[in-house]
Amino acid sequence: MKNKIILLVEDNPDDVELTLLSLKKHNISNEVVITRDGVEALDYLFTTGAYADRDKSTLPAVILLDLKLPKIDGLEVLRRLRADERTKPGRDNDIMETRTTNHHVIKRSHSHLSIIKNHHAR
């Protein structure tokens, strides 16, 4: 995944720092683009607003999406990604949801559901 972009959509500076440290610790050296709210994330993904001049053919390989975001929440961002032909799940795209609940992380990818222990749950 070298040279592929990771989009981090996170409004909490502490969580941004922890995520970047974790990526570095695991030797993930991809470019990380950080957006701070749902509107900015959608602008980046669909090349509108401040990102209107961005190369439209380059989408992130991975999107790390916080669900509780200002302006437009993460669930709405996810809904819009699924609804758009360029980003909806299919052959080249797969959307996985991860939610934290107490001491478990719930991951769902299309029809697959798994619950794994989360040692760092909030």
- If one compares 115 and 15, the residue with the highest pLDDT of the two is 15
Residue 94 has pLDDT above 80, yes or no: no
- If one compares 107 and 76, the residue with the highest pLDDT of the two is 76
- If one compares 67 and 100, the residue with the highest pLDDT of the two is 67
pTM summary value: 0.75
Concatenated DSSP letters for 42-82?
HHHHTT-GGGTTS-TT---SEEEE-SS-SSS-HHHHHHHHH
- CA angle (110 as vertex; 114, 37 as ends), nearest 5: 90
Q: What is the C-alpha separation between 42 and 74, in angstroms, rounded?
A: 10
In sequence order, what are the residues at sequence separation of 6 or more whose Cβ sits closer than 8 angstroms to the Cβ of residue 118?
Answer: 100, 103, 104, 105
Looking at residue 85, its pLDDT comes to 85
Say if residues 77 and 39 touch (Cβ distance below 8 Å): no
Domains of the chain, first to last: 6-88 (3.40.50.2300), 94-122 (no CATH)
* pLDDT, tens only, 15-74: 999 999 988 998 889 999 999 999 999 999 999 999 999 998 888 988 888 888 999 998
